[in-house]
């Protein structure tokens, strides 16, 4: 399990590098924000560079983890599909090759002959990275095996739009800090997450005007709980993160019971705030998140004694963890966390939340 954790931390760092370079390299950034008119662009090539960045990150995770752990190769799932269909109806499959040159060659085909962009991206995909601070873990990968969910970029809208809005309590409402790379490992037997990575590529803007990231991980398998994060308990009012699309009635109920509410972008980011202690909980009454949004961050919360439970069940005094089935036919339908969710770190907050919501 230690080797898997290390490999996932490393590949999440690669993912964060790809996300950062697409914003910090002038040439790639130009591609990222351009609005292509359909008739101007070459229909043979990928229309939309941001989708390529997403897919490339996901394929990098699949490639590196699949190579290091061949038994997991068929069990790695992600939000994105790696087959693009251009307007001529031709399929282009993005797959990581064995060398940087070969990956660049493939990317160049997808990128309308843009060799410079292809080489920059391929360099990051094949860069050697190491991780530090990964502890010994006295446990193997569970028998009966595991599955993996990847959200290569959560908060794509913030990744492109990036209007920084911070609050006085350390939670960002919008902007690059809401972008996360999410990787979660769940145990097939129980359907529950056991290992998770939440990598925040744009955690702080350093003096050299380059972004630095932060990587959080957690392991929660039976009694074994290990976490990279040291939650800092924030003082004052009980703080709950919500989606900007949350119902007014729910906001009113929480506010009337003394909760302070913050509408922050990104499902992964809202759980991250709950992990770090910037917030106490994330409440979502709707089915607007998916398995790839929650698997990684839920594992980290579990490693700290928290969890992500189903909202509608919780209101009936039924604590059911969000869980991860292995069969899914219609991806969007069966991967949806349909019952909404409540993410918390400290279980004692749950009662207050129920009391407010049921009032």
Q: Tell me: does residue 51 bind ligand 2IP (CB under 6 A).
A: no
Q: Tell me: does residue 296 bind ligand 2IP (CB under 6 A).
A: no
Q: Tell me: does residue 177 bind ligand 2IP (CB under 6 A).
A: no
Task: Catalytic residue, from 151, 158, 246, 307: name it.
Answer: 151
| Sole window of 4-12, 197-205, 208-216, 288-296 interacting with ligand 2IP (rule: CB under 6 A) | 288-296
C-alpha to C-alpha distance for 192 and 185, rounded to whole angstroms: 9
Task: Catalytic residue, from 51, 156, 167, 190: name it.
Answer: 156
SS3 percent helix, strand, coil of the chain, rounded to 5, is 40, 25, 40
Q: Tell me: does residue 171 bind ligand 2IP (CB under 6 A).
A: no
C-alpha to C-alpha distance for 199 and 216, rounded to whole angstroms: 6
54 catalytically annotated: yes
Task: Catalytic residue, from 6, 59, 114, 293: name it.
Answer: 293
156 catalytically annotated: yes
Tokens 């309590």 label which residue?
169
Residue 219 main-chain phi, psi, to 5 deg: -125, 130
154 catalytically annotated: yes
Residue 167 interface partner, choices ligand 2IP, Ca ion, none, CB cut-off 5-8 Å depending on type: none
Nearer to ligand 2IP (CB atom), residue 243 or residue 339: 243
Whether residue 146 contacts residue 185, with contact meaning beta carbons closer than 8 Å, is answered with yes
Q: Tell me: does residue 80 bind ligand 2IP (CB under 6 A).
A: no
Least Cβ distance, residue 222 to ligand 2IP (angstroms): 30
**Residue ranges in the chain assigned as alpha helix (H):** 2-24, 26-33, 49-68, 100-110, 115-125, 156-161, 248-256, 267-276, 291-303, 311-314, 331-334, 348-358
**Residue ranges in 69-209 assigned as alpha helix (H):** 100-110, 115-125, 156-161
Q: How many CA atoms lie within 13 A of 328 on its CB side?
A: 22
Least Cβ distance, residue 28 to ligand 2IP (angstroms): 19
Q: Which residues pair with 183 in a beta bridge?
A: 150, 197
Torsional sign, CA 259, 264, 268, 274: negative
Q: Tell me: does residue 293 bind ligand 2IP (CB under 6 A).
A: yes
Report the DSSP pairing between strands 238-242 and 281-284.
parallel
Q: Tell me: does residue 330 bind ligand 2IP (CB under 6 A).
A: no
Q: Tell me: does residue 154 bind ligand 2IP (CB under 6 A).
A: yes
Residues in contact with ligand 2IP, counted by CB under 6 A, come to a total of: 14
153 catalytically annotated: yes
| Sole window of 86-94, 102-110, 153-161, 332-340 interacting with ligand 2IP (rule: CB under 6 A) | 153-161
Nearer to ligand 2IP (CB atom), residue 1 or residue 264: 264
The token pair that represents 351 in the structure block: 């009662």
37 catalytically annotated: no
Neighbours of 37 (CB within 10 A): 7
Residues engaged in binding ligand 2IP (CB under 6 A): 151, 154-156, 243-245, 265-267, 288-290, 293
Residues with a catalytic annotation lie at: 54, 79, 151, 153-154, 156, 293
């Amino acid at each position: 399990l230690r080797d898997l954790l290390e490999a996932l931390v490393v590949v999440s760092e690669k993912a964060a590098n790809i996300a950062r370079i697409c914003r910090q390299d002038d040439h790639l950034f130009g591609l990222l924000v351009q609005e292509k008119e359909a008739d101007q662009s070459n229909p043979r090539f990928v229309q939309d560079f941001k989708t390529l960045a997403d897919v490339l990150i996901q394929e990098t995770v699949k490639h590196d983890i699949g190579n290091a752990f061949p038994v997991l190769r068929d069990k790695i799932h992600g939000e994105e599909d790696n087959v693009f269909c251009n307007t001529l109806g031709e399929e282009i499959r993005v797959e990581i090759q064995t060398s940087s040159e070969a990956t660049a060659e493939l990317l160049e085909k997808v990128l309308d002959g843009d060799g410079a962009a292809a080489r920059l991206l391929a360099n990051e995909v094949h860069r050697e990275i190491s991780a530090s601070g990964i502890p010994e873990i006295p446990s193997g990968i569970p028998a009966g095996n595991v599955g993996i969910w990847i959200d290569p970029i959560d908060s794509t809208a913030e990744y492109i739009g990036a209007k920084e809005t911070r609050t006085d309590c350390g939670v960002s409402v919008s902007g690059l800090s809401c972008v996360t790379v999410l990787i979660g490992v769940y145990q097939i037997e129980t359907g529950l997450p056991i290992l998770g990575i939440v990598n925040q590529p744009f955690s702080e803007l350093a003096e050299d005007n380059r972004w630095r990231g932060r990587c959080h991980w957690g392991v929660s398998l039976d009694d074994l709980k290990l976490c990279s994060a040291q939650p800092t308990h924030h003082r004052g009012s009980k703080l709950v993160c919500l989606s900007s699309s949350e119902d007014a009635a729910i906001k009113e109920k929480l506010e009337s019971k003394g909760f302070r509410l913050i509408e922050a972008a990104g499902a992964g980011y809202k759980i991250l705030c709950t992990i770090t202690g910037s917030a106490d909980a994330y409440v979502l009454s709707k089915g607007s998140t998916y398995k790839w949004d929650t698997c990684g961050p839920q594992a980290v919360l579990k490693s700290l004694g928290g969890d992500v439970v189903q909202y509608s069940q919780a209101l009936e005094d039924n604590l059911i963890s969000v869980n991860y089935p292995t069969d899914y036919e219609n991806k969007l339908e069966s991967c949806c966390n349909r019952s909404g969710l409540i993410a918390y770190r400290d279980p004692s907050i749950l009662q207050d939340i129920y009391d407010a919501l049921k009032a």
